[in-house]
Chain A
Amino acid sequence: MAKVPRNFKLLEELEKGEKGIGDGTCSYGLSNGEDIFMSDWNGTIIGPPGTIHENRIYSLKLYCDDNYPNNPPIVHFISRINLPCVNQHSGKVESSRLSCLSQWKSSNSLEDILVDLRREMANAVNKKLPQPPEGSTF
């Protein structure tokens, strides 16, 4: 397959995100619609039903460096959340503790990360973890 350059891959992801992905439980977009290098992104995850996260809306920020998609994005939660893969001081998603990031492939996307994080929230081990007050931020 032809290797899609960073900017054109991000443009594709942007267009997909603008149309809306999956069932709408995960979404993302550019933080600054005029940023020609498309480095900073916002993400949103709606907490999965039947878990402590139900009805909560989580905001995240994702940063794609010059080597994206060879390098995975750097991902932070803005909304406070208690999850084993999230650093409790900074909100950073620890790459080594989320399979989508630790086994990152250049064909992966921002959507894959959000979907994987939502899966973590619903994971039997995590779904009842006590959570910080709704609306608090890192």
Chain B
Amino acid sequence: MATPPLPKRIIKETERLIADAVPGINAKPHEENLRYFDVDITGPEQSPFEGGVFKLELFLPEEYPMSPPKVRFLTKIYHPNIDKLGRICLDILKDKWSPALQIRTVLLSIQALLSAPNPDDPLANDVAQHWKDNEQEAIAKAREWTQTYAERKMSKIGI
């Protein structure tokens, strides 16, 4: 079955993502499926995710840009808006999606979500409750998970 040509919009967005990369965000399409991206997001400074690099996967469905991209975390993360399977609760990935948004804006919004967890609109209920009951302790746990699952081992790769 022949793969239909990639829409011009997706080609342009991909080129710009690579040529004019956003600091702390890396997105690269799979060679055999140009709608499917491997994404790395660096944990924002001053957040419990600082020092971590989080892997995500992103897919542009057939209906894109009329439908939003599908994105999820592959790296385990302790965050009230991200569930155990890495699914993300973010309005622009659902009802607030607009075709004027792009892959870039989606990834920036996810990076911003790491800086500003929102326990009032939770996806992971137990994590959100923890955040509300004892924010300091929840943040400490998020930091611990970052070290355990997402830390870039700089010394080991000699940077």
Q: Do chains A and B interact in one complex? A: yes
Whether the pair B85, A5 counts as a contact (CB closer than 8 A) is no
| Distance between B90 CB and nearest chain A CB, rounded to angstroms | 15
Whether the pair A7, B62 counts as a contact (CB closer than 8 A) is no
| Distance between B74 CB and nearest chain A CB, rounded to angstroms | 6
A2 interfacial by beta-carbon distance below 8 Å:
yes
Give residues in B with beta carbon < 8 Å to A: 3-4, 30, 33, 35-36, 57, 59-62, 70, 72, 74, 76, 84-87
Whether the pair A36, B85 counts as a contact (CB closer than 8 A) is yes
| A contact residues, total (Cβ < 8 Å) | 13
A114 interfacial by beta-carbon distance below 8 Å:
no
Complex formed: what's the CA distance from A74 to B128 in Å? 37
A3 interfacial by beta-carbon distance below 8 Å:
yes
Whether the pair A34, B84 counts as a contact (CB closer than 8 A) is yes
A11 interfacial by beta-carbon distance below 8 Å:
yes
Whether the pair A5, B59 counts as a contact (CB closer than 8 A) is yes
Main secondary structure of the interface of A (DSSP, over half): loop
Set of chain B residues within 8 Å of A1, measured between Cβ atoms? 4, 62
Give residues in A with beta carbon < 8 Å to B: 1-5, 7-8, 11, 14, 33-34, 36, 38
Whether the pair B60, A2 counts as a contact (CB closer than 8 A) is yes
Q: A11-B70, A36-B76 are in contact. Are A5 and B87 (CB under 8 A)?
A: no
Beta-carbon nearest neighbor of B61 in chain A: A2
Whether the pair B33, A5 counts as a contact (CB closer than 8 A) is yes
Complex formed: what's the CA distance from A34 to B87 in Å? 11
Complex formed: what's the CA distance from A5 to B60 in Å? 10
